[in-house]
Chain A
Amino acid sequence: MTVVSTLSRTAGRPRSRSSAWRGLLYIAPAMALVILFFVIPVIVTAWMSLHNWPLMGAQRWIGINNYVRMIHDARFLSALRFTALYTIIATIAIFAVAFPLALFVEKQRRFVGAYRTVIFLPVVVGLATASLLWVWLANVDSGFIGPLLIALGITERSPNLLASFDSAFLTIIVMVVWKIAGFTMIILLTGLQAIPADIVEAARIDGAKRWQRFRYLTLPLMRRTIALALIISVTGSILAFDQFYIMTAGGPQNRMISVVYYIFNQSFVSFNLGYGASLSIVLLAILVAISIVQLWLLKVGDEKA
């Protein structure tokens, strides 16, 4: 096909049609993967969500009943609330740590390569592995944090960090920041490095102080990078599961059940596959909506720089 098309270049129309085909050919592998692992599963999930679908036994068409049930499901609503809280706190914490780190490692200074590597290192550890590690760190007797607090004279008895909501939540946030901030830092770093040095110099001559340069140059010029980092961070937080499953098992008092955790419980503990599927579809819709709002707020794709 493509060979023929290159031979018949002279005619205008055939060429544009064949180059369209060639374009399709190039994106075909990616499209195949997306269709196989995203589009088809989503369609199947949407189909399942319209059924009462037990693990064993016959499934039954129930229309939108699963979605109606959701509205009155107090546990789902509390899972949504908790996920929202977690997403907001985690994202703020990650950015609060990652942005100064990015500014720190952007400057050429001694050992900057080592700093970047060390800060990025936790990112390559799996989230489940990191969770297990922190379960151990937070262990009352054989852990690290409790004995450290005693050694520093801050507490007399080693606290059980994962036993109360506040301390468990704090521990998980610290773990996630330790694990994720390096990744966000690298994304932000690429945005920082994309700002031409002479623009910053022009601003210095224009009398902009450090904070003003950050406010009027760095932030606006990094809008796209920030949007990317924000969407990755928010999406990751909304989909959080491993850390709650491994570190607290949804505990204390089941107050740490995230949405994905709740979907997992419904699908694979209670075997309400149809209900779990409908919850997943709603979660997908929420994620898409939030991403659109973020892109719109940051006006990505608005103008060429």
Chain B
Amino acid sequence: MSRAAAIETPLEHGRREDTGGVQLSGIRKSFGSLDIIHGIDLSIPEGAFTVFVGPSGCGKSTLLRMIAGLEEVTDGLIAIKGRDVTDLDPSDRGIAMVFQSYALYPHMSVRDNLAFGLKMANTPKEEIERRVAAASAILKTDHLLDRRPGQLSGGQRQRVAIGRAIVRKPDVFLFDEPLSNLDAELRVSMRIEIARLHRELGNTMIYVTHDQTEAMTLADGIVVLRDGRIEQVGSPREIYENPANSFVAGFIGSPRMNLLKAKRVGRQSLTLAGAMIEAPFPTDIDDAEEEITLGIRPEHLTVGHETLAGRSLAATVDFSEYLGGTQYLYCQLADGQAVTVEYRSSVPVRSADPIVLSWSPQMTHMFNGDGMRIKPTH
């Protein structure tokens, strides 16, 4: 089990466990009368790679900037390694940050960029040289030391920016969408580089992104945010396989999970697109009919030809995308609801073909009218 399983929320107010990571308790942020962050409690264990993910405007960057000390905290406490840093200067928090725009000092050589923080701290010359050399060896930027940022490519600049963070020997690394300005290929290789860096240094890292691939591949623990609130905290696998609500279910996974409007009829059955189907698991409810959302990921839908009573649905293929190993079918159910299907068979499927979709109940989720997941009762 990954370290992220230790991520806990909510944290008891006032009392912090003596873990070495980052503790947020009751964090709020408002700009004037506008509330951006609505009270966040989070405990990030030492050495974990934690990713804040969410749609734009969800407050993930603001939260990171509050941990960095670049943004004032309206209310709440931030502790790093058990030390209250809520009102400390950014430089006194034991953090280092990598910006989306790299934020290198354009008028300084790479060497001076790396050394700037140490110079400000009056570190002895030999020590600065040693640490700059060590950092640029880790990131393989030795040959760039005498160049200016303007003479570097995007990937090289981001390496230097990461190097500048390493040189500070921080307790916590903060990454604010560091790969967003890179092209797709470079993004993949830098992602691997960052993962390697985390393995080598073993520091606590907090990483903000809107890219769920980055979140899934890098994270020990993912924090899904929406509108300044935590929607779910967990390991990538937990988030993917057991989404707490329909928002998380739809946000994580690509192509996104099919969220189908259905109606619950009794404990065992649902009506979906005009057909009566079996519920994935029995639920205890009062017998009133209830609108629910049925969540099935595209890869858990199977294309067949035979109709199984209560376990399959008819659909029509709108169009398909061929990706080589796999194919995405964009279909419509009888009532017009859109369904995406991952299709791996070599039997060709063409637009307007009628198909029959079936699914395994274990991989199917139900969400109630408020979007919360309905858990199977044991």
Contacts and interface: CB of A to CB of B under 8 A. Distances in A.
Nearest to A202: B103
Interface stretch (B1-9, B74-82, B114-122, B130-138): B114-122
Interface of A: 196, 198-199, 201-209, 212, 216-217, 220-221, 223, 303-305
A207 B120 contact: yes
B96 interface: yes
A221 B89 contact: no
Nearest to A209: B120
B180 to A, nearest CB: 13
Interface of B: 68-70, 89-92, 95-97, 99, 101, 103-107, 116-117, 120-121, 148, 150, 164, 168
Contacts of A198: 99, 101, 103
A301 B153 CA distance: 22
From B105, B148, B164, name the one whose CB has the most chain A CB atoms within 10 angstroms: B105
Nearest to A213: B120
A240 B295 CA distance: 79
Contacts of A206: 91, 116-117, 120, 164, 168
A208 B103 contact: no
Contacts of A303: 107, 148, 150
Nearest to B168: A206
10 closest A-B pairs (Cβ-Cβ)? Answer: A207-B91, A206-B117, A198-B103, A202-B103, A305-B106, A207-B120, A205-B90, A220-B107, A208-B120, A198-B99
A40 to B, nearest CB: 41
Contacts of B117: 205-207
A204 B89 contact: yes
A199 B103 contact: yes
Contacts of A216: 105, 116
Contact of A217 (B92, B101, B105): B105
A199 B164 CA distance: 13
A207 B150 contact: no
Given A206-B164, A220-B107, 18 more contacts: A198-B99, A201-B70, A202-B105, A204-B89, A204-B91, A205-B69, A205-B91, A205-B97, A205-B117, A205-B168, A206-B91, A206-B168, A207-B91, A207-B120, A208-B116, A216-B116, A217-B105, A303-B150
Contacts of A208: 91, 116, 120
A202 B97 contact: yes
Given A198-B103, A303-B148, A203 B89 contact: no
A223 B107 CA distance: 10
A107 to B, nearest CB: 15
Given A205-B90, A206-B116, A207-B121, A196 B103 contact: yes
Nearest to B148: A303
